[in-house]
Amino acid sequence: MTDRDRDTDTYADLVAAEDVLLFVNAAITGTGQREFGSWAYRQQLSLDFLHEYVRVNYRKVYAASLALGINDHNAVRIVRGLLETSAEATSEEKRTEGLLIAARLAKLPPQRVYRLFRLLRDAGVNNRRTRAIMREWLASRPDLAHDAVKYRVGLRTAARHAHLSLRDGTSEAPHELGDFLFRPGRVPRYRHRLLDAWRRAHYEQGAVDELPFSVAEGFAARHGMKRDAFLERMEPRMTRLERLRTQEQRTADSATGLPAGAGLGMMPLTRLALYVLTFGFERRGLHRAELTRALRGAARRAAGPHAGSWGRVAAVLDDSYSSSGSAEKRRRPLAVALACHFLLEALAAPGAYASLWTSGATDPLLVRPWGPTPLGTRILDALEHGPDRLVIVSDGWDNAPPGLAGEVLRVWRTRIDPDRRTAVVHVNPVYEADGFDVRRLAPGVPTAGIRDAEDLPALVEIARFAEGGTGAAALHAYLDRQVARFVTGTDQGERRE
């Protein structure tokens, strides 16, 4: 092989690595929904192209993305793409893909999995591999009778499409599920408590309390039950996310107070930040101690073993008007910035954290989407603190004045800190459809997409590959390690509700 050939291979590896990082950023942030600066259809077209491009050209990497912190929307799209194109994969690829798909489906909310099964049915995907994956996932469900009541259409579609034999091991009558799904009304009484509660709830108000919350809501409305009394009775049967949604509704109806039993200490960090931002300034001020304590507790849990290990940290946090998000992602960029503030405080050494909001705000609990985005000025202020790490959380629309942030970072890297004593990383919560990526501030500053602040430590590790100094081989080795951890269950991910 000549030197020219080696140079070509090296260049091809670098291009491939850039493509991988581009797709990972898109799969973390993009959901096909409207963003502040682009419509939903542009987001969807952009993601369609990226998924097709990466699947065709880098199928192994496409599957490995399931082991990273991508969002559920793109995880479902990847699984569907892999199953629809099974004929394009080798035997070894199919084996690895099967493990990744099974591990990812176990972490997805069940409603998304059942929706995926319907999409596969609509696309006519019914090969042996797909049927095996559907059977294994259904076999892992703790109670299929619960799914039959809560996800009736989804379970029925999966069973019919894959020709599955439904047997509920907890039932004395193993064929009750089939009767319930495909022959309703044929059996006068079900032996399984939940199936019979659904039957009785059509005419008996007392049976409503025995059903899953989302199913019971419809029966409660049919029986004319008072909403507050119904919610109080159903709270023990709600999932964590259902409890949070009803708390948000009750909080919106309240003038100043928090709902009883709000359970703030159990919420994930980014979800909690979104919850806090639903309050007005008065309510945030009145409950400052409780909300701050909850946010710091969630941040400590998210930091885990990394707590206090990042040394001196400075953060530039974007609370400009564009952080208001869109109708589909209301205040999401601002919530990510607020969550990152508390997480970075936990990651920094004690007393070694400085935060600078683009609006000049000094009280993180009272931030709101407002004003322009003077990132360049705030970055200069942050660098004056002499941090070991500078983290910028922004959608990248630097406009006061435009381009100052990129120029500041360029001069800092080339003239003032060429030895990289200060590690700089930019995390961006907004996918830019036209650029097929998140907006970047400067070529020499690594940028990673972010959806949940809890993923920040892992994203900082991914972002270092964007600097180009680690090489394509290191990136692929990292992906291999993540895949190995993911399929063996050592990534400590949580099953979703």
Residue 65 pLDDT exceeds 80: yes
Give the pLDDT of residue 365: 94
Contact of 192 with 168, CB cutoff 8 Å:
yes
Residue 488 pLDDT exceeds 70: yes
Give the pLDDT of residue 67: 92
The distance in angstroms from the start CA to the end CA of the chain is 54
Model confidence band, residue 219 (pLDDT cutoffs 50, 70, 90)? very high
Query: Percent of the chain having pLDDT more than 90?
Result: 56
**What is the number of helices (H) and of strands (E) in the chain?**
22, 7
Give the pLDDT of residue 13: 67
Query: How much is the average pLDDT of 333-342?
Result: 97
* DSSP designation for 414: I
**CA dihedral in degrees (124, 42, 70, 72; nearest 10)?**
-50
What burial class does residue 482 get, using C-beta atoms within 10 Å of its C-beta: 0-12 exposed, 13-18 middle, 19+ buried?
A: buried
Task: Find the angle CA(395)-CA(400)-CA(404) to the nearest 5 degrees.
Answer: 80
Give the pLDDT of residue 174: 55
Query: How much is the average pLDDT of 262-279?
Result: 85
Residue 188 pLDDT exceeds 90: no
Residues in the chain: 497
Residue 467 pLDDT exceeds 80: no
The C-alpha atoms of residue 234 and residue 216 are separated, in whole angstroms, by 8
The C-alpha atoms of residue 333 and residue 326 are separated, in whole angstroms, by 10
Domains observed in the chain: 269-468 (3.40.50)
Tens digit of each residue's pLDDT (9 = 90 or more) over 380-435: 999 999 999 999 999 988 888 988 999 999 999 889 988 889 999 999 999 988 88
Contact of 409 with 444, CB cutoff 8 Å:
yes
Residue 7 pLDDT exceeds 80: no
Model confidence band, residue 475 (pLDDT cutoffs 50, 70, 90)? confident
Would you state the structure tokens that stand for residue 126, as one six-digit string? 């019914």
Would you state the structure tokens that stand for residue 44, as one six-digit string? 């969807």
The C-alpha atoms of residue 489 and residue 102 are separated, in whole angstroms, by 11
Would you state the structure tokens that stand for residue 179, as one six-digit string? 């009767």
Model confidence band, residue 170 (pLDDT cutoffs 50, 70, 90)? very low
Residue 496 pLDDT exceeds 50: no
Query: Between β-strands 431-432 and 437-438, what pairing exists: parallel, antiparallel or unpaired?
Result: antiparallel
Element at 392 (helix H, strand E): strand 389-393
Residue 31 pLDDT exceeds 50: yes
Helix locations, 163-286, DSSP H: 176-182, 193-201, 213-223, 227-234, 240-253, 269-276, 281-286
The C-alpha atoms of residue 470 and residue 483 are separated, in whole angstroms, by 19
Least confident range of 49-63, 196-210, 242-256: 242-256
pTM of structure: 0.85
Give the pLDDT of residue 11: 62
Would you state the structure tokens that stand for residue 138, as one six-digit string? 């259904």
Q: Which residues contact 493 (CB under 8 A, 6 or more apart)?
A: 107, 486
Model confidence band, residue 171 (pLDDT cutoffs 50, 70, 90)? very low
